[in-house]
Amino acid sequence: MANLIDIVKELIPNMQIGLSCDYVSLPDADDFTYRCTPKENLNTNSCTNSTYWVFDCMDIDFNGLTGVVVNVSRNNYFDVKIGTELNETEGTVIFQLLPPSFFHGTVPMANVEIKDDSCIPPICYLWEIFTSQYQNQFSSIEFIGQRVRLFFLNNYSQDDHLTEDHYTRCIYPMEQMALYFVEVLRQSNKIESEFSKSEKFDLINRVKIGNYKGINGNDKGLFNKNLSGVELVLNIPVVKESSCSC
């Protein structure tokens, strides 16, 4: 029998993206900074201008050199600072955008792992309180996970005092991560594709995710880590496993 948690867990590694970008040196910068313009998602072999979940202050490998993202123009370009000057002022670079770390279970149990220093955001947390609606024997769908809640979260700095800081570093990149997860989910052979493609879903911004108290915001963090991001709420139709004919 299919298990929805296992299906989601197996799909998360498929979110890794090889992102091919054209880069050009920024001569007016005070250090070795290069503007990177996305051109191709190598995993899907498709043209793209998406910056996906690249965010300010993100550590990133630049052709074997340690780099840090210093500016992001969403779905346009991002600037990367490295420690040394390249021989070429322009060229092509391939970035590996890693998938989030996956957690599930009750909040207290998941928090044991998430609060640990070894947990490096972004993360994807599956809230396990959902209903599995089983279908009749003639349906190709075994069950539909109803209102499945997935949180895509990134850490914010103590210096991020403004709402815009959270949106730039967490909300916008995690929104892109959640949308890409939906793409990966719909390509899975364990999901009923036609139902999934026609099904709507919700995205909810979660600044300083916690217990929401109306206009006053959150009174307590959900996890013992500074996290903001988005909540994805959707129905997931799981197909029946093929039975052997003996």
Q: 23-64: per-residue pLDDT in tens? A: 999 988 778 999 999 999 999 999 999 999 999 999 999 999
**Six-digit token string for 58:** 């993100």
Please tell me the predicted confidence (pLDDT) of residue 147.
94
Question: Which stretches of the chain drop beneath a pLDDT of 70?
Answer: 1, 159-161, 210-220, 243-246
pTM of the model: 0.91
Please tell me the predicted confidence (pLDDT) of residue 111.
93
In angstroms, rounded to a whole number, what is the distance separating the alpha carbons of residues 106 and 97?
A: 28
Please tell me the predicted confidence (pLDDT) of residue 214.
60
Please tell me the predicted confidence (pLDDT) of residue 60.
96
Please tell me the predicted confidence (pLDDT) of residue 194.
77
Please tell me the predicted confidence (pLDDT) of residue 101.
96
Residues of each domain in the chain carrying CATH 2.40.30: 17-97
> Rounded to the nearest 5°, which phi and psi values hold at 198?
-90, -10
Class assignment of domain 17-97?
mainly beta
Distance of CA 126 to the CA centre of its chain: 13
Secondary structure of the chain: what % helix, strand, coil (to 5)? Answer: 20, 40, 35
Please choose, from the candidates 48, 16, 5, 2, the residue with its C-alpha nearest in 3D space to the C-alpha of residue 181: 16
As beta bridge partners, residue 74 has: none
Please tell me the predicted confidence (pLDDT) of residue 17.
98
